[in-house]
Amino acid sequence: MTWWPPIAIHFTVTDAFDILATSILTYYLLLLIRGTRAVQIMLGLFVLVVILAVSNLLHLLVLATVMQYLLLGTAVGLPIVFQPELRRGLEHLGRGRLFMRDRRAEDEIAAEQLRIVAHAAFVLARQRAGALIVIEQQTGLREYVESGTALDARLSLDLLLAIFNKMSPLHDGAVIVRDLVVEGAACFLPLSDNTISVDRHVGTRHRAAVGLTEQTDAVVVVASEESGLVSVARAGRLSVPIDDEERLRRVLAACIRPTRRRATDGGLFANLLTKVPRAAQPPQEQLRT
């Protein structure tokens, strides 16, 4: 019987710091590509690596050689493929925003976003022009943007009114908004099959709003073409009709920006804690189940 000497494993504070730093860097890199087509590209690269590993394990020399050259060529082209993400990451790093958050700027962007969306919703409702305005949060909605027409335009009242004009070719579908950017229009959303959360008498527009919020953390503002009423869908639930623009802003603020302590930025670890997913908090306005 062959005797193997025991292997001594030394785990030091430096090793722990190395693992922690690598984990944090990987986390922020994933945040950087969240909601973009880079996620699908990374999944494709992962599949290629798995195929290469299996071919080496089974000694498939021809396949392993082909996969090695394919991965080498892909690695050369990665800077070109990820050019937008790399540019955005370097810009954030240069401004010191990669690990720190500018809360004042975030609050100003959120307030402007809610003001425009709420005002547009009531203008469209009074005109009896149906509208679906999706406010993206942590979950990326790139797949839904790709189902419609990509815009990447600055959010404004005039733009939303132009999109949902009945003569516009983009009015039939949803608009997806991220911060102050309209990512796409005429986007298709999944319909909800939950008859408990959705009234049988509501139309396809409301079912699509609830269906999206069942699968993501997005908040959807619905302006009804038939009744001229405005509702909000969140977490698979549809609110009662909202008859006041200021009240709509309060509901959206409660859904999108949960109450948090106004304190001095705690730095890197405080920023990490704010990004950890938490249980959904009910908005201040009552939602119908």
Q: What is the pLDDT of residues 269-278, one digit of tens each?
A: 445 444 444 4
Over 60: is that where the pLDDT of 98 sits? no
Q: Which residue has the tokens 């690598």?
A: 22
Q: Edge-to-edge strands of the sheet including 230-234? A: 149-154, 181-187, 174-178, 131-135, 219-223, 230-234, 237-239, 287-288
Burial degree of 210 (CB within 10 A; 0-12, 13-18, 19+): buried
pLDDT at 163: 93
Mean pLDDT (whole number) for 45-63: 88
pLDDT at 204: 84
pLDDT at 176: 94
pLDDT at 262: 37
CA separation for the pair 148, 163 (Å, rounded): 13
| Domain range list for the chain | 13-95, 103-257+281-288
b/e per residue 135-157 (b: at least 16 CB within 10 A):
bbbeebbbebbebbeebeeebee
Mean pLDDT (whole number) for 80-103: 62
pLDDT at 287: 47
Over 90: is that where the pLDDT of 289 sits? no
Confirm if 68 and 60 have CB atoms less than 8 A apart.
Answer: no
pLDDT at 152: 85
Mean pLDDT (whole number) for 246-258: 83
Report the candidate in 232, 259, 33, 208 with the shortest Cα–Cα distance to residue 122. 232
Q: What is the pLDDT of residues 159-184, one digit of tens each?
A: 999 999 988 888 888 999 988 899 99
List 150's β-bridge partners, or say none.
184
CA separation, residue 103 to residues 20, 119, 146, 223, 233 (Å) = 25, 24, 30, 30, 26
Q: What is the pLDDT of residues 2-16, one digit of tens each?
A: 555 665 567 788 888
Mean pLDDT (whole number) for 77-91: 69
Confirm if 119 and 242 have CB atoms less than 8 A apart.
Answer: no
> Homologous superfamily of 103-257+281-288 in CATH?
DNA integrity scanning protein, DisA, N-terminal domain (3.40.1700.10)
pLDDT at 272: 47
Average pLDDT, the chain: 78
Mean pLDDT (whole number) for 135-140: 83
pLDDT at 215: 86
